[in-house]
Structure 1
Amino acid sequence: MKLIVFGFLFLWLVPAEPITIERDRERWKPYYTDELPVSIAESWLLPFDLANRKDIRQMKVVSIFDDHRESYLKGHIHTAIDINPVKPKSKHVGIYPMAKGIVCSLHLGENQRTVVIRHKLKNGKTIFTSYKHLKEVYVSNGQQVDQTTKIARLFTRTESKKYGGDYHHLHLEIRKSFDDYGCASWLTMNKKQLNLRFYNPLAFISENI
């Protein structure tokens, strides 16, 4: 009896293995569609419906890239910028692809709904743009899209309150790869992991828009 009790105590005291990108990514693989875009991403625009989608002054940054976060996994690094239009045309802010591509992943739910688009560059390489905190999604996996395709809309401030947080903004990632199938967005814990998979969106926008 003592051995049995000791065994249970031992199991209870052994800490669970930490959640890592390598341990978690297979869980998200079923949501990924491994297909190439039919068109090359030749130009880039801001992801909002604006009078001029190449005018970065019409975009305001709510939160920066490479910032440390306390949400979900304490100390993880912010892999995106959080942005909003300066003067939205409507309380329902529509989200559009930054360039031509294909929807390769729809994952998460509720306040974390995410659309990921794969883009083919002129040099043959691919990159990914990821759009998170979506209230409604209007596209499907494997769908070819261009810059006029409305892929989703954001939360309003009122809708965001339901979740007890600030989700009425776009979490925008520019990704070098998607080998993690999305989980690196909340499991990136150091600069090596960050630089392996992500570009600084502000730098990318400045260089390409």
Structure 2
Amino acid sequence: MKTLLFIFLSALLLETPTIENDRDRWKPYYTNVMPSEIADKWFLPFDVPNRKKISNIKIISIFGDHRDSYLKGHIHTAIDINPVQVKSKLTNVYTMANGIVCSIHLSENQRTVVVKHKLPGGLIMFTTYKHLKEVYVKNGQQVDENTKLARLFTKVESKKYGGDYHHLHLEIRKKFDDYGCASWLTMNKNQLNERFYNPQLFIKEYVK
């Protein structure tokens, strides 16, 4: 809620927030650590019967569409997803591959975990998991596909915030130089392509 208020007041009283002028406010939440294991196997982020079967997730909202939340017209940097079939009332979120938790930030309905990954060729990239009700990991923790990161909101819990937050906002990031603010301050395709992969295409390529 504090983040929403800050952005609203900035837009009205000071200056419209941008990735460049807001990034340093989020830097303290970032831990500059390296994964100990290579991310060579990728999985869906839910406890579904087969975490390699893409049809076990449903896409609620696509990558790259325009939004009116936060700043009007900002671009959705993720896909919003849920499991097709839930095993229980609580939906747990798991790491997609070997990595290390490098950022846990925001609160309330925007609680976020970021995991840094090292691909076989040495390339560094990140996965971001947002709209988390409870977080079970900490910064600097090495994780793998069996690590339970968090759980999502239930429909009842989501109603408290007046919106639909009982889904996973999943970002696949090329870099994290914005420390998280590009998630809601990306305003054009150049900014989108500079920092983000299309998660739907990434999953088709790597989760197999």
Q: Taking structure 2 as the reference length, what is the TM-score of the superposition? A: 0.93
Misfit runs of 4+, over 3 Å: none
Q: What amino acid is aligned across from residue 139 of structure 2 in structure 1?
A: N
Corresponding residue for 2:85? 87
Q: What amino acid is aligned across from residue 14 of structure 2 in structure 1?
A: A
Corresponding residue for 1:3? none
How many residue pairs get aligned? The number is: 196
C-alpha displacement of 1:125:
1.1
Q: What amino acid is aligned across from residue 73 of structure 1 in structure 2?
A: L
Question: What SS does the corresponding residue of 1:151 show, helix, strand or coil?
Answer: strand
Corresponding residue for 1:18? 16
Unpaired segments ≥5 residues, structure 1:
1-13
- Asked if 1:56 corresponds to 2:40, the answer is no
Question: What SS does the corresponding residue of 2:109 show, helix, strand or coil?
Answer: helix
C-alpha displacement of 1:187:
0.1
CA distance in 2, matches of 1:47, 1:165: 22
Matches for 1:22-171 after TM superposition, within 5 Å? 22-171=20-169
Q: What amino acid is aligned across from residue 200 of structure 1 in structure 2?
A: N
C-alpha displacement of 1:17:
2.0
C-alpha displacement of 1:15:
6.6
CA deviation map 1:66-112 (0-9, x unaligned): 00000011100000000000001111000000000000000000000
Q: What amino acid is aligned across from residue 146 of structure 1 in structure 2?
A: D
C-alpha displacement of 1:16:
3.0
Corresponding residue for 2:190? 192
Question: What SS does the corresponding residue of 2:161 show, helix, strand or coil?
Answer: coil
Corresponding residue for 1:6? none
Q: Taking structure 1 as the reference length, what is the TM-score of the superposition? A: 0.92
CA deviation map 1:166-197 (0-9, x unaligned): 00000000000000000000000000000000
Provide the aligned C-alpha RMSD in A: 1.0
Q: What amino acid is aligned across from residue 194 of structure 1 in structure 2?
A: L
CA distance in 1, matches of 2:97, 2:13: 45
Question: What SS does the corresponding residue of 1:192 show, helix, strand or coil?
Answer: helix
CA distance in 2, matches of 1:17, 1:147: 41
Corresponding residue for 2:178? 180
* Distance 1:140-1:15 versus aligned 2 partners, 3 A rule: closer
Unpaired segments ≥5 residues, structure 2:
1-11
Q: What amino acid is aligned across from residue 178 of structure 1 in structure 2?
A: F
Question: What SS does the corresponding residue of 2:113 show, helix, strand or coil?
Answer: strand
